[in-house]
């Protein structure tokens, strides 16, 4: 399996192990497989048996093995076995699925060490990094940006690992107290937290600017853990497969490979749902992919109108689902590349030039209709009031407590349910404990705190405040590598 950049018209091939450590392509594009591997009925039947008999880690090795041919299968299975273990993940199923109400399910992605769906990819990424760096005898300095959960998931996956340093940019004052405590409370010498004077998009822009300085990136061995890194999306494809298996009968007598399932996905950066797009393109029986946004609705606006209108930092609202307070969705480039028939030159024009000028429009173009008709996308948005009402209803009527991001997904799923003829799985984003203020507003009670998180809020903090300046961030990295 070879990989290409979304901006490279020459389709220069790269291997998985090479793009793993670099993250962003040198031309500023994002990596995708040169073609998506295809699964058939026999493969789906085998995957059902693997999940039932050997568990999630074994399924992960099967799915990921379709994309990775430069790591021996035995080593790949060991990597997956180390990443997806109990009790590191608090449920032996790793990603259990429960029924919320008729036609609506929850895929529980928050069983990991930081209680967020990002653990599903980060735990695997940590194992991949350590394996490949040891194989090459190299080191890696990870530069990342987070609007809430990516940072803690990355840091918990990388803390104490040989040959790896983490520099994580966070928007100052924009995360919940629990999210800040999870990250800033870490005292590991290889973890460096930065509170940037800006919003998430500013943090993400600095990551891209530093990665775009090819000389600096190479000399400091800079890598990425944000969802611009292909390995994260590849890991997330697995839980679309496992959720589909569980909803369609598992490995029992009622299992049905022809039955399709839809997914409602809270998203700001388009990474989580982009993995669903990839799974669907592979032939996993997925019907609809429902994009759920909050008030920062740049993605919903595109899927409704064809216009991709990025917002400035000043226009990006601080909401009660802060991990989605994003107005420039990096992973969206991967989908648009496919939507454009893999036209790398036009993709480079749209994302390398037009986005910097404020956005672009596909309104009126025939291909825009393909977003729904061919690729299955629907979309919707929620407000703070919608989230509060959804959390309250799920708790009081159904006895299920959800976080505000998952509430975005449930609210939007309910809004389009009449248009969708298949069961909808709402992908959980995080445990409610990470957003206690919103939960208290909705239900009048504090969310339960799992025992493993009880001491987090009391830990001393270790974080550096920096201005929104790429050169200052570079100097901070240099100072901490000296």
Residues belonging to the active site: 118
Q: Do residues 435 and 176 make contact, with C-beta atoms less than 8 angstroms apart?
A: yes
Q: Is the dihedral of CA 303, 307, 311, 315 positive or negative?
A: negative
Phi, psi (degrees; rounded to nearest 5) at 469: -150, 115
DSSP class of residue 418? G
Q: What are the angstrom distances between the C-alpha of 42 and each of 216, 315, 330?
A: 47, 49, 35
Task: Return d(Cα 341, Cα 31) in angstroms, integer.
Answer: 15
Q: Do residues 196 and 172 make contact, with C-beta atoms less than 8 angstroms apart?
A: yes
Task: Return d(Cα 123, Cα 432) in angstroms, integer.
Answer: 21
> What SS3 state is found at 390?
helix
Task: Return d(Cα 1, Cα 13) in angstroms, integer.
Answer: 9
Q: Is the peptide bond before 228 cis (omega within 30 degrees of 0)?
A: no
Q: Do residues 95 and 83 make contact, with C-beta atoms less than 8 angstroms apart?
A: no
Q: Do residues 106 and 97 make contact, with C-beta atoms less than 8 angstroms apart?
A: yes
Q: Do residues 140 and 223 make contact, with C-beta atoms less than 8 angstroms apart?
A: yes
Q: What are the angstrom distances between the C-alpha of 432 and each of 98, 116, 123, 174, 401?
A: 16, 10, 21, 17, 7
Task: Return d(Cα 44, Cα 56) in angstroms, integer.
Answer: 14
> What SS3 state is found at 289?
strand
- Pairing of the two strands 3-5 and 31-33: antiparallel
Task: Return the residue matching tokens 């930081």.
Answer: 114
Q: What are the angstrom distances between the C-alpha of 16 and each of 22, 125, 299?
A: 10, 12, 29
The phi-psi region of residue 258 (left if phi > 0; otherwise alpha if psi is between -120 and 50; otherwise beta) is: alpha
Q: Do residues 127 and 82 make contact, with C-beta atoms less than 8 angstroms apart?
A: yes
């Amino acid at each position: 399996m070879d990989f290409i950049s979304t901006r490279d018209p020459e389709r220069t091939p790269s291997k998985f192990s090479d793009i793993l450590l670099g993250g962003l392509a040198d031309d500023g594009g994002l990596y995708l497989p040169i073609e998506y591997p295809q699964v058939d009925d026999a493969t789906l039947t085998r995957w059902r048996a693997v999940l039932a008999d050997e568990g999630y880690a074994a399924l992960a090795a099967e799915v990921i093995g379709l994309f990775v041919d430069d790591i021996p299968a035995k080593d790949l299975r060991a990597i997956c076995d180390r990443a997806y273990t109990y009790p590191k993940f608090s449920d032996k199923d790793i990603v259990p699925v429960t029924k919320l109400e008729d036609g609506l399910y929850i895929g529980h992605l928050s069983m990991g060490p930081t209680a967020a769906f990002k653990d599903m990819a980060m735990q695997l990424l940590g194992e991949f990094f350590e394996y490949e760096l040891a194989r090459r005898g190299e080191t890696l300095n990870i530069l990342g940006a987070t609007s809430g959960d990516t940072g803690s998931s990355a840091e918990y996956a990388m803390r104490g690992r040989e040959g790896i340093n983490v520099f994580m940019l966070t928007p100052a004052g924009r995360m919940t107290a629990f999210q800040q405590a999870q990250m800033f409370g870490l005292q590991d010498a290889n973890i460096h937290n930065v509170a940037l004077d800006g919003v998430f998009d500013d943090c993400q822009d600095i990551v891209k600017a530093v990665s775009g300085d090819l000389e600096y990136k190479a000399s400091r061995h800079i890598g990425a853990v944000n969802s611009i890194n292909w390995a994260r999306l590849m890991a997330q494809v697995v839980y679309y497969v496992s959720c589909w298996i569980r909803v369609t009968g598992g490995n029992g007598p009622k299992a049905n490979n022809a039955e399709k399932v839809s997914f409602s996905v809270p998203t700001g950066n388009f990474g989580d749902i982009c993995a669903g797009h990839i799974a669907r393109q592979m032939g996993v029986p997925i019907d609809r992919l429902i994009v759920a946004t909050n008030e920062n609705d740049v993605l919903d606006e595109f899927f409704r109108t064809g216009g991709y209108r990025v917002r400035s930092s000043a226009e990006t609202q601080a909401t009660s689902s802060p991990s989605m307070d994003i107005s420039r969705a990096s992973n969206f480039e991967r989908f648009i590349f496919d939507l454009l028939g893999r036209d790398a030159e036009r993709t480079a024009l749209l994302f390398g030039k037009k986005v910097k000028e404020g956005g672009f429009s596909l309104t009126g173009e025939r291909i825009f209709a393909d977003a729904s008709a061919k690729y299955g996308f629907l979309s919707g948005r929620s407000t703070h009031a919608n989230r509060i009402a959804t959390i309250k209803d799920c708790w009081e009527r159904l006895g299920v407590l959800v976080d505000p991001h998952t509430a975005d997904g449930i609210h939007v799923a309910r809004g389009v349910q009449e248009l969708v003829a298949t069961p909808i799985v709402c992908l959980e984003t995080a445990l409610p404990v990470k957003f206690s203020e919103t939960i208290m507003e909705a239900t009048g009670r504090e969310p339960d705190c799992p025992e493993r998180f009880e001491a987090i809020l009391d830990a001393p903090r270790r974080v550096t405040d920096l201005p929104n300046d790429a050169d200052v961030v570079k100097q901070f990295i240099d100072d901490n590598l000296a």
